[in-house]
Amino acid sequence: MVKQPDPSPKHDARKASATSRVRTGDIFRVYARETRKHWVLFMAVFLGALGAQIAGIISPLYMKMLFNAVASDPRTAQSFHDLVGLVVIIAALSLIGWIAQRVQTYSIIHLESRGMADLSADAFDYLIGHSYQFFVSHFGGTLTRRVSKFAGAFETIMDNVMLAFFPTAVFAVGAVWVLFLRNHVLGIALAAWIVCFIAFQIYVARLRRPLRVARSEADSKMVGTLSDAISNQNTIALFSGKEHEGGIFRGVIELWRKATMRSWNADEMIWSVQGILIVGINVGLLYGAVVYWEQGLITIGDFVLIQSYLIGLFGQLTGISMQLRRFHDAFADAVEMMEIIQLPHEVKDVPDAPPLRIGTGTIVFHDVDFWFNEEKPILTGFNLSIGGGEKLALVGPSGAGKTTITKLLLRLYDIKGGVLAIDGQDIAKVTQDSVRDAIAFVPQEPILFHRSLMENIRYGRRNATDEEVIEAAKKAHCHEFIEELPEKYGTFVGERGVKLSGGERQRVAIARAILKDAPILVLDEATSSLDSESEALIQDALHTLMEGKTVIVIAHRLSTIMKMDRIVVVEHGGIAAQGTHEELLAANGLYHKLWSIQAGGFRE
Ligand SMILES: Nc1ncnc2c1ncn2[C@@H]1O[C@H](COP(=O)(O)OP(=O)(O)OP(=O)(O)O)[C@@H](O)[C@H]1O
Ligand SMILES: [Mg+2]
């Protein structure tokens, strides 16, 4: 019995991602690991930020001296000389601050761009390793957005921490400390105010969260409606649905507008309270300073010192609520990708799996069970042995599970019970790549890359020469239509290959399989979109290709499979009948019925 990772339907990718719990710490760990790779840059950012803030804290101390000197010193040559000295020191500090800031920004540019590139590449590698089932359960557009947002979130979080939170904290601590040394009461007052300000920010961030979530949901809904309409533009035009769709879109937009307004209103309210807090501390400290000045405890210079610190601090703190919001949003973005990264790959190679050693290409399905949904099994105790070099046809009603059988052979899904072996080796115990290398598969609905035809065909064997590609194209009868295209083999085929007709796409897929020339060939309705004449031509090429190979052909058009060694009729998760064309006709079962309908159709 083949061991299965998780046979229950809860393993469904979409459900799994909806229930997964991504913790904040997980995201930090991934980003921290990335940062550690570039630790020299990170240290440069850190020291740059520290240097810039320290310069910003020290500089007002000299301003204070300057103002005190201006207020009290006589206008003599000596005091002029001293004042110029102070101006030079202030200039030097500003220059140091400027250099430190350049170091900080230059390093962060390098750190973030490298980090984002690495994270995108890693996310791509992991994402693309997910199973076929994962991709049929997720929208392509959503996945694309998740990968790009994952890298974007790294930038935002790094910017926030290293350009906003950390420098603000250093400046705040420095300012409070200096002020405290000068006057305990003023220092403590400023410290208390900063604590209140931050507590307020954290409190409102929590209050605002549901509003932001509502807005982002409305946002997703709007994008979803829009992209659904865009991909169904053809249907909308054909069924005169423009006004209907416009109505739906306006309804969604209205919800979005309301959610956005609520969220912005809350922001505005927070800004107002924040403004009052700032005026309060400003006036409070000035009043305190006046009182102490009256008592002769502080000087004119101290006023300048306090104002310098407050102006610096307000500049940093007013931005902090915006930064906090971005920080939260970035986390929300990163969570979406982390869900995918934490979701184990469904179809995995076992540790140290050897490659498949392919011989004649015998295939055995032994007691195979498979379902997408436990209530509706596709195969139960399915048995089928295909000899090396045998040409087998699968027929049966639509939805019987023919395509699924071939996908199990390709290990696009893991079977739930039983064993599936090629040349005596359980395909679950050898590498997936080696299994797929042994099989050339022409799918029912081929999808192509938005790349040139040359590259698309060459995908069958990526080291094939142009001549080999063209030869395969000729055999698959693609060459004729490709030669008529303006760019010939250099023509791009549109997203998913939409610029080609169904039959042209099929021929490209056949050319790929011809080029691949693998020991096992699987054709799933490979010629269904072709007219009878082209099909007859390609059948010839396919028959040549089939020589010496194990072949599975699925076809609704029974005329195309008459010559197969054996025909297997699949129905209700099992084999209803099998034999040669003549034997099955004689048995007078489902095959006979299908044949009569098709033959009848031809006669009319
Ligand atoms: N990814 C999937 N998730 C859930 N159910 C699926 C999935 N793929 C196929 N099915 C279901 O499995 C059943 C078998 O599908 P399959 O594509 O194997 O049928 P088929 O015999 O190839 O039909 P046709 O002749 O129409 O191509 C169908 O009922 C289908 O709805
Ligand atoms: Mg099918």
Q: Helix, strand, or coil here: 340?
A: helix
Answer whether 292's CB lies under 8 Å from 158's CB: no
**Integer Cα distance of 502 and 499 in angstroms:** 9
Distance between Cα 231 and ligand 1 center (Å): 23
Q: What order of strands is seen across the sheet that includes strand 439-442?
A: 439-442, 520-524, 550-554, 391-395, 566-571, 574-579
The residues, any chain, with a CB within 8 Å of residue 466's CB and separated by 6 or more, are 454, 489
Considering every ligand atom shown, identify the ligand nearest to the alpha carbon of residue 396 and give its number.
Answer: 1
Considering every ligand atom shown, identify the ligand nearest to the alpha carbon of residue 443 and give its number.
Answer: 2
CA distances from 593 to 227, 323, 528, 588, 589 (A): 44, 70, 20, 7, 6
Distance between Cα 443 and ligand 2 center (Å): 9
- Residue with token string 């209907």: 244
Considering every ligand atom shown, identify the ligand nearest to the alpha carbon of residue 407 and give its number.
Answer: 1
Q: Which pLDDT score, from 0 to 100, does residue 117 have?
A: 93
Give the closest residue (by CA) to ligand 1 atom 30: 399
CA distances from 71 to 68, 217, 486 (A): 5, 60, 84
Percent of the chain with pLDDT over 90: 25
Residue 8 has pLDDT above 70, yes or no: no
**395 beta partners:** 569
Sequence length of the chain is 604
The residues lining ligand 1, judged by C-beta closer than 6 Å to any ligand atom, are 133, 136, 372, 378, 396, 398-404, 444
Give the closest residue (by CA) to ligand 1 atom 27: 398
Architecture of domain 351-438+522-527+553-604: 3-Layer(aba) Sandwich (3.40)
End-to-end CA distance of the chain: 51
Answer whether 554's CB lies under 8 Å from 407's CB: no
Q: Which pLDDT score, from 0 to 100, does residue 7 have?
A: 35
pLDDT classification of 18: cutoffs 50, 70, 90: very low
Name the DSSP class of 162: I
**Integer Cα distance of 319 and 315 in angstroms:** 7
Q: What digits encode the pLDDT tens for the residues 218-242?
A: 887 888 888 888 878 888 888 888 8
- Parallel, antiparallel, or unpaired for β 550-554 and 566-571? unpaired
Give the closest residue (by CA) to ligand 1 atom 4: 372
pLDDT classification of 600: cutoffs 50, 70, 90: low
Dihedral through CA 137, CA 142, CA 147, CA 151, nearest 10?
A: -150
Q: Which pLDDT score, from 0 to 100, does residue 599 have?
A: 61
Average pLDDT over residues 414-421: 90
pLDDT classification of 470: cutoffs 50, 70, 90: very high
Lowest-confidence pick of 180-189, 280-289, 474-483, 588-597: 588-597
Average pLDDT over residues 289-314: 88
Considering every ligand atom shown, identify the ligand nearest to the alpha carbon of residue 409 and give its number.
Answer: 1
Give residue limits of the domains in the chain. 13-171+323-346, 184-297, 351-438+522-527+553-604
For residue 170, the number of C-alpha atoms closer than 13 Å in the C-beta half-sphere is 19
- Residue with token string 């040359």: 454
Average pLDDT over residues 370-389: 87
Residue 14 has pLDDT above 50, yes or no: no
- Looking at 13-76, list the stretches that DSSP marks H as alpha helix, in order from N- to C-terminal side: 13-19, 24-37, 39-72
Residues within 5 Å of ion ligand 2, judged at the Cβ atom? 403, 444
Q: Closest ligand 1 atom, CA of 407?
A: 18
CA distances from 555 to 276, 317, 384, 561, 583 (A): 76, 69, 18, 7, 18
Lowest-confidence pick of 99-103, 267-271, 492-496, 501-505: 492-496
Give the closest residue (by CA) to ligand 1 atom 3: 372
Average pLDDT over residues 53-73: 89
Q: Which pLDDT score, from 0 to 100, does residue 497 have?
A: 67
pLDDT classification of 602: cutoffs 50, 70, 90: very low
**Integer Cα distance of 9 and 377 in angstroms:** 11
**Integer Cα distance of 540 and 550 in angstroms:** 17
**Integer Cα distance of 121 and 111 in angstroms:** 15
Q: Which residues of 162-194 are buried (b: 16+ CB within 10 A; e: fewer)?
A: bbbbbbbebbbebbbebbbebbeebbebbbebb
Distance between Cα 8 and ligand 1 center (Å): 18
Q: Which residue has the higher pLDDT, 409 or 334?
A: 409
Considering every ligand atom shown, identify the ligand nearest to the alpha carbon of residue 395 and give its number.
Answer: 1
Give the closest residue (by CA) to ligand 1 atom 7: 372
User: Exposure of 524 by Cβ count < 10 A (0-12 exposed, 13-18 middle, 19+ buried)?
Assistant: buried
The residues, any chain, with a CB within 8 Å of residue 577's CB and separated by 6 or more, are 568, 569, 584, 587, 589, 590, 591
Q: Which pLDDT score, from 0 to 100, does residue 12 have?
A: 37
Distance between Cα 61 and ligand 1 center (Å): 76
Residue 1 has pLDDT above 50, yes or no: no
Residue 250 has pLDDT above 90, yes or no: yes
Distance between Cα 441 and ligand 2 center (Å): 13
pTM (predicted TM-score): 0.75
Percent of the chain with pLDDT over 70: 94
For residue 548, the number of C-alpha atoms closer than 13 Å in the C-beta half-sphere is 6
**Integer Cα distance of 546 and 476 in angstroms:** 13
**551 beta partners:** 391, 521
Distance between Cα 248 and ligand 1 center (Å): 32
Q: What digits encode the pLDDT tens for the residues 156-174?
A: 999 999 988 999 999 999 9
> Which token pair is 597?
């309908």
Distance between Cα 402 and ligand 1 center (Å): 8
**Integer Cα distance of 202 and 208 in angstroms:** 10
Taking alpha carbons only, the member of 503, 495, 489 closest to residue 457 is: 489
> Which token pair is 603?
């006669």
Q: Where are the beta strands (DSSP E) in 208-354?
A: none
Average pLDDT over residues 279-290: 89
Q: Closest ligand 1 atom, CA of 137?
A: 1
Average pLDDT over residues 30-53: 93
Number of H helices, E strands in the chain: 20, 10
Distance between Cα 442 and ligand 2 center (Å): 12
> Helix 300-342 vs helix 166-182: angle between axes, to the nearest 10 degrees?
150
Give the closest residue (by CA) to ligand 1 atom 19: 399
Give the closest residue (by CA) to ligand 1 atom 5: 372
**Integer Cα distance of 206 and 201 in angstroms:** 9
- Residue with token string 């005026």: 279
